[in-house]
Amino acid sequence: MKIARFDDNRLGLVEGDQVKDVTAALDILPRVGYPLPLHDPLIAHLDAVCAEIRRLAPNAQALPLAGRTWLAPVANPGKIVAAPVNYQKHLDEAREQVEIHHNNQVIEIQKIGLFLKATSSLVGPSAGVAIEHLDRRNDHEAELVVIIGQGGRNISRANAMRHVAAYTSGLDMTVRGPEERSLRKSVDSYSVLGPWLVTADEIPHPDQMDFSLHVNGELRQKANTRDLILDIPHLIEFASSFYTLRTGDLLYTGTPEGVAQVHPGDVITTSFVGIGDMTVAVRSSK
């Protein structure tokens, strides 16, 4: 099932070139009060929401995909985990280009591990990316994103896929420079997510997914997730050996070669087979 959040916090079922408004399915979510839960309530009740969507869909209003405002499909992730240099050819280009590495030593993911992006950097595709530090190189990074279902600590590789609720696509936008990744990749709007989530049952082979990224129609990145250095089970095992993964946490799995600069006025489009296409406009934050 492809589930979107769109327009004025509507919930949608995406089918072909239409989205059905199934916002009433959210009524089954428990009311929450302060202190707020440390997980995402929609993902925590995803099975029940999906059942309610199936019940509502036959009588739901269908809208064209075109013209919708797409929000991040996970509204309240507890954390955004991200994998650096997780494709060999991107590791190679990062080591070769001073504009990427800025005299930082580019260390293999097995040694440097993972990093976190601020949840305040999360936006949906229609919000677009607002470039900060226009004097610096600001790059696109297309990435498959895993949405964690059941949480856990010290999850083994063998059990890891049971903890995946859904997939979506993402942009790990990046200001190049000498600072820590978590700072340079946590600028407001630098974690794009969408255009909708796809439940894990519809993606039987996330480890064989073709995807690409274009800027203004020009191909920049083209890869397949089979070339991940650390695959999804390994990333989940690695992350959960340091901290508890919670329901709704996002895992950006890393970007392949072809990262390059974007400028205000550019339009980024990503295409992930089995998920769909995402269009993101770039502007200046000023």
Q: Which residues of this protein are in contact with Mn ion, per CB under 5 A?
A: 141, 172, 255
- For Mn ion, the closer CB: 181 or 283: 181
Nearer to Mn ion, 1 or 259 (CB): 259
The helix (run of H) or strand (run of E) holding residue 231 is none
Nearer to Mn ion, 43 or 173 (CB): 173
Indicate the residue among 3 and 173 with the shorter CB distance to Mn ion.
173
Sheet holding 210-215, edge to edge: 129-131, 276-284, 267-272, 210-215, 218-224
Among residues 253, 260, 220, the alpha carbon closest in space to that of 100 is found at 260
Residue holding tokens 């978590």?
182
Instruction: Provide, rounded to whole angstroms, the least separation between the CB of residue 255 and Mn ion.
Output: 4
Query: Is the dihedral angle over the CA atoms 193, 96, 283, 119 positive or is it negative?
Result: positive
Nearer to Mn ion, 141 or 237 (CB): 141
- Minimum distance from residue 82 beta carbon to Mn ion (Å): 6
Q: How far is the CB of 254 from Mn ion (least distance, A)?
A: 6
- For residues 168 and 145, give the distance between their C-alpha atoms in angstroms, rounded to a whole number: 5
Q: Which residues contact 109 (CB under 8 A, 6 or more apart)?
A: 83, 84, 85, 86, 229, 230, 254
User: How far apart are alpha carbons 49 and 24 in whole angstroms?
Assistant: 10
Q: Tokens at residue 131, please?
A: 């470039």
Nearest distance in Å: CB 170, Mn ion: 9
Give residue 166's identity as a one-letter amino acid code: A
Cis peptide preceding 178, ω within 30 of 0: no
We find the least distance from the C-beta atom of residue 57 to Mn ion, in angstroms, to be 35
Residue nearest to Mn ion (CB): 172
**Which residue, 4 or 146, is less far from Mn ion as judged by CB?**
146
Nearest approach, Cβ of residue 23 and Mn ion (Å): 32
Which residue, 163, 138, 159, is CA-closest to 150?
163
Cα–Cα distance for residue pair 194/286, rounded to 1 Å = 25
Smaller CB distance to Mn ion: residue 41 or 170? 170
**Least distance from Mn ion to the Cβ atom of residue 99, Å:** 16
